[in-house]
Structure 1
Amino acid sequence: MVRKFVLIRLSTALGRSGRESRGKGAGIQVGGRSVVLGKWLSRRARMGAKPPSEPRKVIRTAPPTPHGLTGVYLGRGRVLSRLWTGNTIVLPGDTLDVGPSIMTTGAWEPDNSGYIAHVLEPGDVFIDIGANVGYFTILAAELVKPNGFVVAFEPQKALLPFIQESVIANGFQRICHVSDAAIGATEADGLLGHCDLLSGSASMVPSFGDGSRAADIVTVRPLDDILEEISAQYGRRLVPTIIKMDIEGYEYHAWQGMKRTVAAAERIALIIEFAPRRYLNMGQDAFAFLDELEAAGLTLFGLRDTDQVTRKVPFKRETVQAMIEADAWIDLIAEKGDPMRR
């Protein structure tokens, strides 16, 4: 039986990209049992220890400086900031999306953050497809350390150094691998379009971008193949607990190159930025995408906000047509087995 849960938002007043939190706490309800998310214990952060009196997840609910900017300019367009977990992150100083949200709240996409924090445990494997500046990469590494593993894929070469510096700043080199490959259905070269001042907006979708700069030529690899190579490189079999993909309309392509990986996992969760209008514009069928996910044994959910509470609810196919007409998207959760069960 799939466990139902409620995520009370990491920051009770945060929007999607994150606004300032004035709440004192947050929590997760699992099967009717409430788990309070208190402050991140300094002892646990240092030692990875979990006091027996504490719940399974103990997470800071607000950034270290919740009522103002948290950032130190390092030069060369780099800003040093902190996540709501206390981890250091190096950010580009010239973007208007991910960077300002993290600097002012310590968070990005709090609903997805809460889901990831609820599922991941030490020893798990997290795959970050479309890692951007590395927010979810660093968050996941903190959650899966000391023996877990994180693989981050970010084909924007301008962002790659930020992820690498953040990995080093947190001492995560042993448990993180950062790649500039784009993930798709087959191995090929592709064009990556950009939007100026929005580091979160880059895509392999044809004609994507605002024309502010030329598209980059990037290497496209199926996840099935490149994950086998990374596993061999580190001498360990990497079976993902969570695969997160936020690649601006290229998710269906990426899915087609990871079916073997998903099939090999007994318990797995996919977080997919599901944008059916973009698939339609590329000649793809959003309903066929859903069919393939379900045929692979995945159960589909959405994350719904109600009164600052995020709930995991069954995904309704009848909403897809309205999403196409409105050019809307959702964060689709696709689970096989119970990713939280060990």
Structure 2
Amino acid sequence: MNTDMLYSLQRVERLAAASKLVRMVQMPVRYVYAIGFRILRYRFGKRGVAKRTMTFFGVPMTVILPASTDIYLTGGKSHNSEIRLAKLLIRQLQAGAVFIDVGAHFGYFALLAARLVGAQGRVVAFEASETTHAVLSANVAAMPVVQAHHLAVSNQQEMISFYEFPVLYNEYNSLDVAQFIKEKWFQESKPKRIDVPAVTLDNFFASSTLVPDIIKIDVEGAELKVIQGATELLRRTKPIVVLEYLSPERHNQDHQQAVTLLRELGYQAKSIATDGALVSCSDLNAYLYAQHVDSDNFAFVKE
């Protein structure tokens, strides 16, 4: 396990838990610029700005502010679930491993995985948004172990409609925007529809020699379709599958079906502990209630 990288991640964790005042004192120029840009320039112009930053794992990365402001300020994704996911990858991904990133966004986890798997490993990243993929592609251009594909991942091979939000909300880009209609921000940030080719993981890896060690799925509600399109891959291999699971209050029927399908394929659910270790979790809804959260990343392991 890379203890130096875990130590560096602790700084992200500390800054994430700190007050706004502490963050401003720690990084005054960046903090004032990022917050000022969002409040003043973005509010009126609705146009993002590309900024280069250094990640906690020592790889430079471009983000488009005001999206990914946390990476720009701290060098990492700062939500508790994302910090624990980073720790899981640091624990589990060894040199030579294969990491599949479905919904890679600007490439934060793809870049972290590339750093962990080294020259003999492989990272395959999928991003459906055209504008977001352009940033992802530029971020991984200097890393030959990473393949960045402008493709959606679903349960059928076909052209599909995909919805891109303005940059402030582009982490919500999705196949289905109905889930966001009641959100206050949705009324002022309507998405643009694009057509994009979709692939299934089964077909994509049918003729590949790559055997995935971890598949991370972050597709804003389309997790079930991704799993449905990967059943053959998951039957013949046994990667750890990481996906977000929502509480029943957030209409999680598709997430429940995705979990049921994974269990039928021989997988057991695990929560991700604060140190990145995996802990058996038989009731995901009860776990969310106990943690007082309405969503979290869970890992599924074939035992």
Range into which the TM-score falls when normalised by the shorter chain: 0.7 to 0.9
- Within 5 Å, which residues of 2 pair with 1:257-296? 257-265=229-237, 267-275=238-246, 277=248, 280=251, 284=253, 286-296=255-265
Q: CA deviation at 1:329?
A: 1.7
Change (3 A) 1:321 1:167: closer
Match of 1:192 in 2: 162
Q: 1:162 deviation in Å?
A: 1.3
Shift of 1:94: 3.5
Question: 1:186, 1:328 → 2: CA distance?
Answer: 29
Cross-structure match for 1:182 = 152
Asked if structure 2 preserves the Cα contact closer than 8 Å seen for 1:132 and 1:159, the reply is yes
TM-score by length of structure 2 reads 0.76
CA apart distance, 1:322:
7.2
Residue matched to 1:219: 197
In structure 2, the residue matched to 1:82 is: 54
Gaps of 5+ in 1: 1-6, 22-65, 232-236, 338-342
Q: TM-score, normalised by structure 1?
A: 0.68
Question: Over aligned residue pairs, what C-alpha RMSD do you find?
Answer: 3.3
Aligned to 1:43: none
CA distance, structure 2, for counterparts of residue 241 and residue 256 of structure 1: 19
Matches within 5 A, 1:305-324: 305=274, 312-317=278-283, 319=285
Size of the alignment, in residue pairs? Answer: 264
User: How far did 1:138 drift?
Assistant: 0.6
* CA contact 1:252–1:279 (8 Å) conserved in 2: no
Cα separation, 1, equivalents of 2:226 and 2:242: 12
Q: Is the 8 A contact 1:224 1:260 kept in 2?
A: yes
Mapped to 2, the partners of 1:80 and 1:285 lie a distance apart of 37
Judged with a 3 Å threshold, the aligned counterparts in structure 2 of structure 1 residues 13 and 138 are, in CA distance, closer, same or farther, namely: closer
Supply the distance in 2 between the matched residues of 1:20 and 1:329 (Cα, whole angstroms): 19
Q: Quick one: which amino acid aligns to residue 103 of structure 1?
A: Y
Contact 1:249–1:275 (CA<8 Å) still a contact in 2? no
Q: 1:319 to 1:12 in 2, by over 3 A?
A: farther
**How many angstroms does 1:20 deviate by?**
6.5
* Partners of 2:165 and 2:192 within 8 A in 1: no
* Partner SS, residue 247 of structure 1: coil
The alignment status of 1:330 with 2:296, answered yes or no, reads: yes
Distance 1:206 1:278, change over 3 A: farther
Superposition map of 1:52-91 within 5 A? 67-68=26-27, 77-91=49-63
Cα distance in 2 for residues equivalent to 1:277 and 1:191:
26
Shift of 1:105: 1.2
User: Identity, % of aligned pairs?
Assistant: 22
Q: 1:14 to 1:322 in 2, by over 3 A?
A: closer
Write the distance in 1 (CA, Å) between the matches of 2:109 and 2:158. Answer: 26
CA positional deviation for 1:207: 2.6
Alignment-derived partner of residue 59 in structure 1 = none
Q: CA deviation at 1:214?
A: 2.1
Could you say what secondary structure the match of 2:115 adopts?
A: helix
The answer on whether the counterparts of 1:279 and 1:286 sit within 8 Å (CA) in structure 2 is no
Cα drift, residue 188 of structure 1: 2.3
Instruction: Indicate how the Cα distance of structure 1 residues 199 and 206 shifts in structure 2: closer, same or farther if over 3 A, else same.
Output: closer
Structure ranking higher in helix proportion = 2
The residue identity in structure 1 corresponding to 2:137 is: Q
Alpha-carbon distance change, 253 to 328 in structure 1, aligned in 2, over 3 angstroms: same
CA contact (8 A) 2:12 2:76 kept: no
Q: 2:126 aligns with which of 144, 148, 153?
A: 153
| Distance in structure 2 (CA, Å) of the matches to 1:13 and 1:159 | 24
> Please, which of 210, 213, 225 is the counterpart of residue 241 of structure 1?
213
CA contact (8 A) 2:216 2:242 kept: yes
Cα deviation code 1:21-79 (max 9, x no counterpart): 8xxxxxxxxxxxxxxxxxxxxxxxxxxxxxxxxxxxxxxxxxxxx93267999xx9321
Q: What is aligned with 2:172? A: 201
2:92 maps to 119
User: Please, which of 89, 98, 103 is the counterpart of residue 72 of structure 2?
Assistant: 103
Does residue 19 (structure 1) correspond to residue 16 (structure 2)? The answer is: yes
